[in-house]
Amino acid sequence: MIFIINATNRRLSSFALLSIFLCFPEVGAQENQRTVLPLPLEEVRIFTEALDRIRMSYVEEVDDKTLLENAIKGMLSGLDPHSAYVIENDYDALQETTTGEFGGLGIEVGRENGYIKVISPIDGTPADKAGIESGDLIIQINNTPTQQILPEEAATLMRGEPGTSVTVTVAREGQDPFDLTITREVIAITSVRSRVLEPGYVYLRISQFRVNTANELKEELEDIYSDSEDIKGIVMDLRNNPGGILQASVDVVDAFVNQGRIVYTEGRIEGNNMEFMATSDTVDEDVPMVVLINNGSASASEIVAGALQDQGRAIIMGTRSFGKGSVQTVMSLAEQRAIKLTTSLYFTPSGRSIQAQGIEPDILVENAFVTKRSRNVTQISESNLPNRLDNANGINEAEDEMTNALLSAEEVLVTDYPLNEALNVLKGINTLSPNKP
């Protein structure tokens, strides 16, 4: 090593000494109880020389701490879009987003082709209300270009005191870039909500997977089942769900299956090879289910869709999901400093890797705006004829019930076409069920 340094004929800096010291395989081996491979000497020499040149020749003086932190950021950002160096405000933000309350716009972002890409807006947040859509590119934040900045840095720019505004410039396919000025709010997220679409048919919306998501899901279902035990079908909506905590997704699947594998992960080291199995702690293992997904469904939501699909527990409808099949581990380095590192890939029960592929729906249903065709005034039926006989089973009551059902179905149809199709599938399953009386 000394020979190589002398060959460069340059003064050895303290940083170079540190880097050369790290080349020894024994360094760090006692702490980790494993062999640490030596660093390539030529690349270490180039790194230390670049560091010294920046320190001495850059147009402005930059402190060593900033240079080294930038080096760590660059090292991680060059690995994949989800590995990052997390410090101070970013560290606090990471803690907040996993627990469910923070100040900002409510956007889950990633990186694509050097730009910040919206994975999905979170339900009910300022970004969602402003019309931000999955797949949008955010090219400026308060007139600051976002090209080549990290998603964590973009998130920091969008966070701020509730009541203050931030202007984002959005590039959307087929449109010219446009500005949206959005007022920040305290984002306190309830990750699960539910409603009854029609008697017997339940709608479950999961917006993100957080620490308490599985408990929220069970509470919602218990309330519904306490009001009516005759549940004929469940629609689980995972559209624009950007994911979240792995264990939360496992617990959600476990609420609907009582045996078999849910998901497994594979990484380079043994501790990252995990397998998650279903338990008997099941809320309902029999009721027909349809799961809605789209391009904004990522990570943990893909785990849920893939597991229920592989186990034959649910029909998956919508469009192909985002395709984030990797698991990140947050490793603390010091106080308010950590690295978020991709440590493994996850696989569905049948062994499918979703990375860069996504979940293909069983039934493809594109998002669309559909309205009911106006009724032709010349269309008449027996009930419209004068002096017609009444139905022996009470036609007036039947007409009222049918009218109400049609109005309810039309409301769903106009506002949410995929949801309407999911409801129709569940009705078809119940109509053809051999157990139907």
- 299 belongs to the catalytic site: yes
Which of 123, 251, 254, 310 is flagged as catalytic?
A: 310
| Beta-sheet pairing, 363-364 with 315-318 | parallel
Residue 373 DSSP symbol: P
Which of 194, 297, 299, 321 is flagged as catalytic?
A: 299
Which of 324, 340, 344, 416 is flagged as catalytic?
A: 324
Q: Where are the alpha helices (DSSP H) in 266-394?
A: 300-310
What H or E segment, with its residue span, contains residue 407?
helix 395-415
Confirm if 240 and 121 have CB atoms less than 8 A apart: yes
- 324 belongs to the catalytic site: yes
Dihedral sign from CA coordinates of 292, 293, 296, 297: positive
Confirm if 159 and 93 have CB atoms less than 8 A apart: yes
- 237 belongs to the catalytic site: no
* Torsion of the alpha carbons at 59, 64, 65 and 67, rounded to the nearest 10: 50
Backbone φ and ψ for 222, nearest 5 degrees, come out as: -60, -40
What is the rounded CA–CA span in Å between residue 91 and residue 338?
7
Largest Cα–Cα distance in the chain? 111
Q: Where are the alpha helices (DSSP H) in 325-394?
A: none
Residues that are catalytic: 299, 310, 324
